[in-house]
Amino acid sequence: MDVIFEALRGLLMNVFYRITLGLGLTFTTYKSFDALIDGMKEYIVSSFQVLDNSMLNLLSMYRIDDAITILFSAFLVKLVFKGFISGSMTTLNFNPN
């Protein structure tokens, strides 16, 4: 009976460590990419603020703001897919003992 409890404890400890490590990596990745995207967004907004009204109207007519939004979305989707693919292909060999 002790063997079963010892095996179950080892299994649960391994699962706990994997979940904790995964949550930590996810949080760190999210915060770093959030800062990167915010910095890029601030740069683009500050670049548009120096333009005169006629140029802003022309860019608005050509819907450049929508194009920038699409590019940001595509960039983030690519990062997410790359994370899912690399995360599913790599295995975590963590032994707490």
pLDDT at 8: 74
Q: Answer with the residue of higher pLDDT: 36 or 62.
A: 62
**Cα distance between residue 36 and residue 55, in whole Å:** 27
pLDDT of residue 95 exceeding 60:
no
Residue 56: which residues within 8 A CB-CB, separation 6 or more? 48
CB 34 within 8 A of CB 40: no
User: What is the pTM (predicted TM-score) of this model?
Assistant: 0.49
Q: What residues does each domain of the chain span?
A: 1-36, 51-89
Give residue 85's pLDDT band: very low, low, confident or very high (50, 70, 90): low
